[in-house]
Structure 1
């Protein structure tokens, strides 16, 4: 089983998800958007598999700091460039299990994913 977690290492939700995986002894690799980078292909894959509305984190400070005009112009085409420029606006974590993507973290969600 191949497991890759994408996110930002100082994110509290990432820390919880990592702890959960480690407690279950599930090996994974971690891709930090800030350290290892992010590109349009990666964000496009996230958006195609998960839906861009799910990928865009509207609850974070980065999104709230956008102008109303920027927010109004977000759509399926423009969102990729925006998320590459501001990777903190990607809802975290993005988890890839054998090529299938999942987003967010809740212990019960992960328990179900890894019991399938």
Structure 2
């Protein structure tokens, strides 16, 4: 089963889910915000994602959460700080994010899975 990480109220995530399910693929939607609220958005998951993809690809620099960070936090960001911020503020993770078991796809790449 494919794991689609995103936010319940994210239009791109809902579109990606519909597209994948429309291709007959089984998709488990995982809300990053709810995962964080339950304390399940842990370092192990983020480290695994960052091992598959560069942490800079995972970091959503277009989000309002990113713009609300102070300039010093944004300027001095490194991998460890980015992963900590993503754990604390899941809206900093680019979405949709698809874990196929073989690869991690981010954003527009998700729509092409299974083509």
Task: Please give the TM-score of this superposition, normalised by the length of structure 1.
Answer: 0.87
Task: State the distance in 1 between where 2:68 and 2:111 align.
Answer: 31
Runs of 4+ in 1 over 4 A off after TM superposition: none
Task: State the distance in 1 between where 2:24 and 2:30 align.
Answer: 19
Q: For 1:85-100, list aligned pairs within 5 A.
A: 85-100=88-103
Aligned residue for 1:5, secondary structure, equals: strand
Aligned residue for 1:92, secondary structure, equals: coil
Q: For 1:1-116, list aligned pairs within 5 A.
A: 2-37=1-36, 38-105=41-108, 110-111=111-112, 113-115=113-115
List per-residue Cα deviations over 1:17-60 (Å, max 9, x = no partner). 01111221211111111223311111111111110110000011
RMSD: 1.5
Q: Where do 5+ consecutive residues of structure 2 fail to align? A: none
Aligned residue for 2:99, secondary structure, equals: strand
**CA positional deviation for 1:4:** 0.5
List per-residue Cα deviations over 1:32-89 (Å, max 9, x = no partner). 1122331111111111111011000001111001010010121012111110001001
Number of residue equivalences: 111
